[in-house]
Amino acid sequence: MGTQVSIFIQQIINGLKIGSVYALVALGYTMVYGIIRLINFAHGDFIMVGSYVLLYTIPIMVACGLPAWTAIILAVTACAAVGVTVEKVAYKPVREKGTKMSALITAIAMSLFLENLAQTVFGASPKPVGTIFSFPNLELAGIKLNGNTMLTIAIGVVMMIALQLFVKKTKMGKAMRAVSEDGEAAILMGINKNRTISITFAIGSALAAVASLMYCASYPQATPTLGSMLGLKAFIAAVLGGIGIIPGAMLGGIVVGLVESLTKAYIGTLTGGVITSAFSDAIVFGILIVVLIVKPSGILGKNVGEKV
């Protein structure tokens, strides 16, 4: 019995780990959606960009005698730059001229473009990312805890708290919320809307870079399509929590992570082997469908009628 409880707790912790990765990525989706009502399908690929930056800068950092994790500074910078550039070059012109649908299609195009570009530049085969951090394993009340996993969860929590403080307490955070509520009124309060949008993209992409660090710490491989499935699940997390709502993305990410981890562990035994753990993704998507039928605006979303 004791080992079973221990396994269960391990699974919960694994779920929290991958969930906090999803949460950070989902935040990027939700912030961008909140401010310009666009699903940025290229967001998942920003994680891929981050992982390649880590891949190439970790050896440099180590050679300079710095700890490997300092590579995150470069990854954050690179991802923020990519995010802002994509916004300025691809989304802004389309947003100003075209419809929401053309912006959405542009986002899908950007996603494919980044993936194919990475394939051309870095090759299609997975490349191993160097060790980012190795934290000693802990043992708490007889349960073995993987140090790296705990550190990953801790980084996720710190990032989420920092973001929440930024959005609630700073001038720029208030400006972001104002633009997302009513862009035109925000401009008439003297807020520079374009600058606010750029900063939103920069922060969202920077969070994707941190997510890539957390992800690569557990799965140290960079591939050109690394971001597509991860991005898709994070998008589900954002919708599940209520798209456009920051705490919703955090909650959604954690829920998706936990569901995934627990189904992988128990679905086989629970169904007597009829449904195997290979179905875990299908189950995650299934939960999304159920939640959206019951509560179309997501777990934390408010049901609002169409604006008149």
Partner 1 sequence: MGELILQAKHLGISFGGLKAVDDFNIEIKAGELVGLIGPNGAGKTTVFNLLTGVYAPTEGAFFLCGEKMNGKKTHQVVQSGIARTFQNIRLFKSMTVLENVMVAYGMSIKYKIPGAIFRMGSYFKEEAEYREKALDLLKIFDLDDKADYIADNLPYGQQRKLEIARALATGMKLLLLDEPAAGMNPTETADLLRCINIIRERFGIAILLIEHDMSLVMKICERIVVIDYGVTIAQGLPEEIASNQRVIAAYLGADEEEEDVPC
Q: Is 174 in the site for partner 1 (CB under 8 A)?
A: yes
CB 256 within 8 A of CB 14: no
Enumerate long-range contacts of 6-13, CB under 8 Å, 24 or more apart.
Answer: 6/142, 6/143, 6/144, 7/265, 9/143, 10/143, 10/144, 11/261, 11/262, 11/265, 11/266, 12/258, 12/261, 12/262, 13/145, 13/146, 13/149, 13/150, 13/153
Q: Which is nearer to partner 1, 23 or 246 (CB)?
A: 246
Looking only at residues 30 through 89 of this chain, which bind partner 1 when binding is defined by CB under 8 A? none
Q: Which is nearer to partner 1, 155 or 191 (CB)?
A: 191
End-to-end CA distance of the chain: 59
Q: Which is nearer to partner 1, 27 or 107 (CB)?
A: 27
Q: Which is nearer to partner 1, 190 or 305 (CB)?
A: 190
Looking only at residues 177 through 206 of this chain, which bind partner 1 when binding is defined by CB under 8 A? 177-178, 181-182, 184-193, 199
The CB-of-175 to partner 1 minimum distance in angstroms stands at 6
Q: Which is nearer to partner 1, 198 or 280 (CB)?
A: 198
The CB-of-157 to partner 1 minimum distance in angstroms stands at 19
Neighbours of 221 (CB within 10 A): 14
CB 21 within 8 A of CB 215: yes
- The Cβ-side half-sphere exposure at 299, using a 13 Å CA radius, reads 18
Amino acid at 250: M
Q: Which of 170, 229, 278, 286 binds partner 1 (CB under 8 A)?
A: 170
The CB-of-188 to partner 1 minimum distance in angstroms stands at 6
Give the binding range for partner 1 (CB under 8 A) out of 141-149, 151-159, 172-180, 280-288.
Answer: 172-180
Binding site for partner 1 (CB under 8 A): 169-172, 174-175, 177-178, 181-182, 184-193, 199
